[in-house]
Structure 1
Amino acid sequence: MPLEGPRPAGMNEPPEPDTGPSSAERRRAGARALGPVVAVVALGGAIGAAARYGASLLWPTPPGAFPWTTLTVNVVGCVVIGVFMVVISEVWAAHRLVRPFFGTGVLGGFTTFSTYAVDIRLLVGAGRPATGMAYLGLTLVAALASVWSAVWVTRRVVAWRQT
């Protein structure tokens, strides 16, 4: 049955043709925009992982020994990320690819949760569960304290230099 009476405004006109990009075109454009980010993260990750591997060659951990090298790498990485995040967020307006390159890539490749987890498993498997649990806790506390301290000190240094 046909509708009787006046129609609301806009009901008599045909729908506007959709002239915007299709969802496939938007996905392709998004992928092109993310391409440089993925590339710099990969490059930074390779650099960070190579540095971590170099540290393990310079200071190898004997089987069953406390993994000081991994602990040191993770703590140093946390200090650097603390300084970096203050500088990049509060001091320096960096290019949009600096944070993914250095923060996610280099420091993500340098620090290592996987080696940390394997080290704990190896210590427990070698009959040293207390050492493994101490390492687990020490790494967590040292990493959090390191990043927090680095942020705090960096903010103080920045404030002091600006006065």
Structure 2
Amino acid sequence: MNWLFVVAGAVVGAPLRYLTDRALRARHESVFPWGTFTVNVAGSFVLGLLTGVSSAHTRLLLATGLCGALTTYSTFSYETLKLYESGAKGYAAANVAGSLAAGLGAVWLGVEATGAW
């Protein structure tokens, strides 16, 4: 039965990732993958917020389902490789460093925000 919580979260997370990417691509003409960057940072923040949640079902729904479908390491890796191969090595490096720094910062902020409540 737990898998239903994961599926329910993923039903929201996957379309949200897709729509975020489409919206950012429509507004910003850049080779930098802003959509993937944004969903990964947002997902890191939400996961940080969820550290204080004790309900197993809530964790399955939001952490595993929603955040798991919203964030994407594989797309991050692929887009970084494509940037590098196309000669945009600076953007590739910025994507790696920026994603790591922003993701860690976002999860830290989420944890701190939860602790403050």
Same fold (TM over 0.5): yes
The residue that corresponds to 1:80 in the other structure is 46
Q: Is the 8 A contact 2:6 2:66 kept in 1?
A: yes
Deviation at 1:51, TM superposition (A): 0.6
Question: C-alpha separation between the residues in 2 aligned to 1:155 and 1:114?
Answer: 31
- Indicate the residue corresponding to 1:24 in structure 2: none
SS at match of 2:78: helix
The 3-state SS of whatever aligns with 1:60 is helix
Equivalent position amino acid for 2:67 in 1: L
Number of residue equivalences: 116
1:6-155 → structure 2 map (5 Å cutoff)? 36-60=1-25, 65-86=31-52, 88-89=53-54, 94=55, 96-155=56-115
Unaligned stretches of 5+ residues in structure 2: none
The structure 1 segments of at least 4 consecutive aligned residues displaced by more than 4 Å after TM superposition are 61-64
Identity between Structure 1 and Structure 2 (%): 31
TM-score (norm 2): 0.88
> TM-score with structure 1 length normalisation?
0.65
Q: Distance in 2 between matches of 1:153 and 1:97?
A: 21
Tell which structure's C-alpha radius of gyration is larger: 1
Which is helix-richer, 1 or 2?
2
Q: Which runs of 5+ in 1 are unaligned?
A: 1-35, 159-163
Any idea what the Cα deviations from partners look like across 1:43-76, whole Å, max 9, x if unmatched? 3123201110011121117787111221111111
